[in-house]
Amino acid sequence: MDISINFIIGVLAIVYGLYSFIQRKVAPQNIEKLQSMIERNGEKMANSIHLFGYTILPIVAGLLLLYAHFRA
């Protein structure tokens, strides 16, 4: 099995998404981007944007890249 760029980026994206999710649960006050979003957009909207952009999107992109790697 050859390791492609899709595999490497896919794994890194999934790890980043999971790290972001854990960080949001453990210490959300330490995430500067989230705090600035809360100030600008309100807590509910900021949490939704951050959850989608920094957790769900990287995990889905990583899964798609892994699918492309294993399919090829």
Q: What's the pTM value of the predicted model, to 2 decimals?
A: 0.88
C-alpha distance from residue 19 to each of 27, 39, 56 (Å): 12, 23, 11
d(CA 14, CA 59) in angstroms, rounded, equals 4
Domain extent listing, the chain = 5-71
* pLDDT band with cut points at 50, 70 and 90 for residue 1: low
Mean model confidence pLDDT for the chain: 94
Tell me: the pLDDT tens digits for 8-40? 999 999 999 999 999 999 998 899 999 999 999
C-alpha distance from residue 39 to each of 32, 36, 51 (Å): 11, 5, 16
